[in-house]
């Protein structure tokens, strides 16, 4: 990837003062910005989400990603501020531990660790109120109410929640394939489509595959499910509709935090503009929550983190 800004500003110009990081369960993304909050470098690295007892692993992934972003610099001055928004950093204990670990490796003059929710809300709404629905490998919805307080619905992980997520959609497709295979459910072209997508040829192969994969690998099937729904498969369409309803329920849980109309932004691969789940969610909200106004704003959590970092510098 070319890190140079189209304006010709070097990615290592002294005006590059802040770094923002989105440390998630599927990857870590870091951006480098100048004083005008222009992105002058962007890289992706290994997952940096925080797991209990594994803060050092997260810190290493984040530091490695930032190292790729700044490693070729000819100016040895540190960035003025670094803000990391990390999945799994909702508890103060994990936030503080990750912050200390990152401070030890001297990545910036000032380091702050916050939640993935805060940086995504910053990107979607700046400091304004609103609801953000996120659906990638996992799912959650976040709200900043008119008083500035942040609230969450969902986000409990693949074992306890993540309804409407890529993992949930992929897992539901695998179940539908099993039901099709033994006659407990309707026939579906998901059977052949998913086998082809994962490079397998028989049900027994798929069973072995499914029982050895990570949530992220199962979530990758969601792309095939949505393509199959667009091709007219009734089972896939039903699964997509259920995902939309599940995500709409997240919004409904947060609506009591607001009076009157509230702006809703969408983020994550499952909700990229025009996907069947995106359309199912928008349709469902129009039916049951007319006060929720969906906007098609591009959400860039890493850039949101950089904006917060800029404020740290005053």
- The pLDDT value recorded for residue 2 is 39
Band of pLDDT at residue 79, cut at 50, 70 and 90? confident
Mean pLDDT of 277-290: 95
Instruction: List pLDDT tens digits, range 197-248.
Output: 999 999 999 999 999 998 889 999 999 999 999 999 999 999 999 999 999 9
- The answer to whether position 47 is within a domain reads yes
Q: Does residue 212 share a domain with residue 82? A: no
Pairing outcome for strands 150-154 and 28-34: unpaired
**For the chain, how many structural domains are there in total?**
2
In this structure, the answer to whether residues 274 and 305 fall within a common structural domain is: no
Q: What's the burial of 53, exposed, middle or buried (CB within 10 Å: 0-12/13-18/19+)?
A: exposed
Residue 121 lies in a domain: yes
Quick one: tokens of 192? 């052949």
Residue 1 in domain: no
146 and 261 co-located in one domain:
yes
Domain that holds residue 20: 16-127+300-312
Q: For residues 146 and 219, state if they share a domain.
A: yes
Please indicate, yes or no, whether residues 225 and 248 belong to a single structural domain of this protein.
yes
**Is 168 a member of any domain?**
yes
Q: What is the pLDDT of residue 198?
A: 94
81 and 64 assigned to the same domain: yes
Q: Are 113 and 99 in contact (CB under 8 A)?
A: yes
Query: Do 182 and 58 share a structural domain?
Result: no
* β-bridge partners, 83: 20, 112
19: nearest Cα among 91, 55, 68: 68
Residue 169 forms part of a structural domain: yes
pLDDT over threshold 70, residue 3: no
Note whether residue 6 is domain-resident: no
pLDDT, averaged across the chain:
88
Is 86 domain-assigned?
yes
Same domain, 168 and 102: no
- Look up residue 128 and give its two tokens: 């304004």
Residue 223: its pLDDT value, please? 95
Q: Indicate if 261 and 177 belong to the same structural domain.
A: yes
Per-residue pLDDT reduced to its tens digit, 38-66: 998 999 999 888 887 788 899 999 999 99
Token couple for 206: 């798929």
- Residue 214, strand partner residues: none
Provide the percentage of residues in the chain whose pLDDT is more than 90. 65
Cα–Cα dist 56/62, whole Å: 10
Looking at the structure, tell me whether residues 189 and 97 fall in a common domain: no
Cα→Cα distances 295→113, 210, 266, Å: 28, 36, 8
What pLDDT does residue 6 have?
Answer: 37
Q: Does residue 11 belong to any structural domain of this protein? A: no
CA Rg value for the chain? 21
In a shared domain, residues 99 and 170: no
State the CATH number of the domain containing residue 239. 3.30.420.40
Shared-domain flag, residues 142 and 283: yes
Higher pLDDT, 178 or 115: 178
């Amino acid at each position: 990837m070319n890190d140079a800004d189209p304006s010709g500003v070097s990615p290592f110009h002294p005006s590059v003062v802040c770094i923002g990081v989105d440390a998630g369960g599927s990857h870590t993304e870091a951006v480098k910005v100048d004083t005008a909050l222009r992105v002058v470098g962007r890289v992706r690295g290994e997952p940096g989400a925080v797991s209990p007892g594994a803060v050092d692993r997260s810190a290493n992934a984040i530091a490695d990603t930032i190292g790729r972003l700044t490693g070729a610099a000819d100016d040895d001055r540190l960035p003025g501020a670094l803000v990391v928004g990390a999945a799994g950093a909702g508890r103060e204990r994990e936030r503080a531990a990750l912050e200390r670990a990152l401070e030890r490796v001297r990545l910036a003059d000032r380091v702050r660790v916050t939640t993935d929710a805060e940086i995504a809300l910053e990107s979607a709404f700046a400091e304004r109120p609103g609801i953000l629905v996120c659906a990638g490998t996992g799912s959650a919805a976040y709200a900043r109410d008119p008083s500035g307080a942040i609230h969450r619905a969902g986000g409990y992980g693949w074992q306890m929640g993540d309804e409407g997520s890529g993992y949930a959609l992929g897992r539901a497709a695998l179940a539908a394939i099993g039901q099709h295979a033994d006659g407990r459910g309707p026939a579906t072209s998901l059977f052949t489509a998913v086998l082809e997508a994962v490079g397998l040829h028989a049900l027994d192969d798929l069973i072995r595959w499914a029982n050895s994969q990570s949530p992220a690998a199962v979530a990758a099937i969601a792309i095939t499910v949505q393509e199959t729904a667009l091709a007219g498969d009734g089972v896939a369409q039903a699964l997509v509709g259920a995902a939309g309803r599940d995500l709409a329920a997240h919004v409904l849980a947060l609506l009591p935090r607001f009076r009157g109309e509230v702006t809703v932004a969408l983020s994550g691969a499952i909700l990229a503009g025009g996907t069947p789940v995106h359309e199912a969610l928008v349709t469902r909200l129009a039916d049951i929550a007319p006060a929720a106004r969906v906007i098609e704003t591009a959400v860039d959590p890493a850039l949101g983190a950089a904006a917060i970092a800029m404020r740290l510098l005053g």
